Amino acid sequence: MESLVAGAFLGGAAQVLLKKLVSIASEEISCAWGFEEELTTLKDSLIMIQAVLRDAERRQATDEAVKLWLEKLKDVSHVADNVLDEFTYEILRRKVENLEIQPKHQMKRKVCSCFSLPNPTAFHFKTKDINIPAAFHFTMAPKIKEINVSLEKINRQAIDFGLQRGAVDIAPQVTTVLDRETHSFLDDSKIIGREADASKIVDMLTSNQEVVSVIPIVGMGGLGKTTFAKLIYNDEGIKRHFDVRIWVCVSENFDVNTLLGNILESLTGMKCEVQTREAILQKLQKELGGKKYLLVLDDIWNEDTGKWADFKSSLSGVTTVRGSNIVVTTRINQVASIVGTLPKYCLGELSTDECWSIFEEKAFSNGGAPKTPD
């Protein structure tokens, strides 16, 4: 009984760790701190482990080696959890230390610029004003590397044990092959300043009766396009309306076959082994045929009309059910013009008060710094 509980715990623990990791990556702090490669490796390992957990939980009662494998995974999960907590705490501590010595009206301006300006400027604020020491990187990098080595060994053992990879419970919500780290988990904190606009787009998506329609969300880097798309993706009305929801990050590498394969991986939770366009489309038709889907393509840069037409044509043949939709996030107006069949949504800057509210939510909730009257 105890081992069964341990197995159930591990499934939840992997999901919590994955959520925490991609939350850090989605804010793009990892890029500024130089941890992108280590965190990407860690995230990919967790996804691969998540895919075999169900089979491991079934086999642990009769296979002592699998039971020991689960115990080892539990130990490594605890270590990874502690390291990620340390990482997140250091980020928050330095933000708060940097701001607490300034008058509140100046802090509001700085926080607003951090949330509203393009990413290069935002990172300039984070790296210059917060003065991140190289010593922290030298301390953290070996810890993350050690965790990655342990997880790689655990993954190899899973293969040796013949653990079967199945559909991951969070598969429609997590991208498995990424150029830019992103995900469809919503942060537990409240989304501020976008709710009314998100509601309008949800109404538009759920009332559309075309075979496949595309709505672009446009805005400069750092404005929160991905967070806004998450708000739509995780809306309860969206969940009820669509049979399937899919989230894929695209970024600058817009290769049609790769993109179709990533969609298939997100649907099944398994690595796409097939290579040809025809084989991928056959599998997509099996997954999506007769279903109404919402597909979010996050961070598209491609301005090649031919590539988009090729992708759209290929995907349109997968299902004939009316009412499917694609949401595209992009920084480039030309991309929005190419892909959009519905009016584009231009994401504006948040007000100073809204930016300040977001900062307060991040800094003073869940055990963060204490909030003072002034």
Report residue 130 as tokens: 């917060």
Flag whether pLDDT at 320 surpasses 50: yes
Across the range 116-124, mean pLDDT stands at 36
Q: Say what the pLDDT of residue 13 is.
A: 57
- Please, what is the average pLDDT of the chain? 72
Q: Average the pLDDT over each of 38-47, 107-116, 255-264, 299-308 and give the range with the smallest value.
A: 107-116
Residues 319 and 289: beta-carbon distance below 8 Å: yes
Flag whether pLDDT at 294 surpasses 50: yes
Q: Average the pLDDT over each of 39-48, 213-222, 274-283 and give the range with the smallest value.
A: 39-48
**Residue ranges per domain, the chain?**
2-166, 173-352
d(CA 237, CA 220): 28
Give the global pTM.
Answer: 0.51
d(CA 107, CA 105): 5
Flag whether pLDDT at 368 surpasses 90: no
Across the range 163-168, mean pLDDT stands at 65
Flag whether pLDDT at 93 surpasses 90: no
Residues 194 and 228: beta-carbon distance below 8 Å: yes
Across the range 289-315, mean pLDDT stands at 91
pLDDT in tens, 334-344: 999 999 988 88
d(CA 309, CA 297): 15
Q: Which of 292, 295, 293 is nearest to 328 (CA)?
A: 295
Flag whether pLDDT at 298 surpasses 80: yes
Q: Say what the pLDDT of residue 207 is.
A: 86
Q: Say what the pLDDT of residue 161 is.
A: 86
Is the model more confident about 53 or about 301? 301
Chain centroid to Cα 172, Å, comes to 11
Report residue 321 as tokens: 């059910």
Q: Average the pLDDT over each of 133-142, 200-209, 345-354 and give the range with the smallest value.
A: 345-354
Across the range 241-254, mean pLDDT stands at 87
What's the Cα-to-Cα distance from 358 to each of 36, 161, 216, 340, rounded to whole Å? 25, 46, 25, 30
Does domain 173-352 bear CATH number 3.40.50.300?
yes
Q: Three-state secondary structure along the chain?
A: CHHHHHHHHHHHHHHHHHHHHHHHHHCCHHHHHCCHHHHHHHHHHHHHHHHHHHHHHHHCCCCHHHHHHHHHHHHHHHHHHHHHHHHHHHHHHHHHHHHHCCCHHHHHHHHHHHHHCCHHHHHHHHHHHHCCCHHHHHHHHHHHHHHHHHHHHHHHHHHHCCCCCCCCCCHHHECCCCCCCCECCCCCCCCCCCHHHHHHHHHHHHHCCCCEEEEEEECCCCCCHHHHHHHHHCCHHHHHHCCEEEEEEEECCCCHHHHHHHHHHHHHCCCCCCCCHHHHHHHHHHHHCCCCEEEEEEEECCCCHHHHHHHHHHHHCCCCCCCEEEEEEECCHHHHHHHCCCCCEECCCCCHHHHHHHHHHHHHCCCCCCCCCC
In sequence order, the 6+-apart residues with CB closer than 8 A to the CB of 94 are 130, 131, 132
pLDDT in tens, 194-232: 677 888 899 989 888 787 889 999 887 667 788 888 889
Confidence bin at 359 (pLDDT 50/70/90): low
* The residue to which tokens 């992708």 are assigned: 311
Confidence bin at 241 (pLDDT 50/70/90): very high
Q: Which of 121, 122, 89 is nearest to 20 (CA)?
A: 89
